[in-house]
Amino acid sequence: MNMTIWLFLLAGAGFGIISFPVKHWFSEGPCSAGASDNLLDGRLFWTMVCTFLWPIMLLTGLNSARILMKRRARLASPQ
């Protein structure tokens, strides 16, 4: 593998580790990152998914942020 692929995978693993506590922003999983006995519900699985799909996950997170900003602006404006 060349350096570009390694950097892509490293960036994805870092993204997965950093974004695990707020994975609900990506429409994945519950609102809180509680302890789980199941490997597929935990940090390791989230990191593996993000390692390969981090550009898609980043776009879904940005879309969620846009939706939340619109919702907050609508609630803050007097009607």
pLDDT per residue, tens digit, the chain (79 aa), is 799 999 999 999 999 989 888 887 777 555 555 555 565 668 888 889 899 999 999 898 888 889 889 988 998 887 6
Sign of the four-CA dihedral 32, 76, 57, 18: negative
CA angle 2-52-69, nearest 5°? 125
Both structure tokens of 26: 């990506």
Q: What is the pLDDT of residue 70?
A: 92
Query: Alpha helices of 1-79 — where are they, by DSSP H?
Result: 3-19, 43-76
pLDDT computed for residue 29 by the predictor: 52
* Residues 6+ away with beta carbon under 8 Å from 21: 33
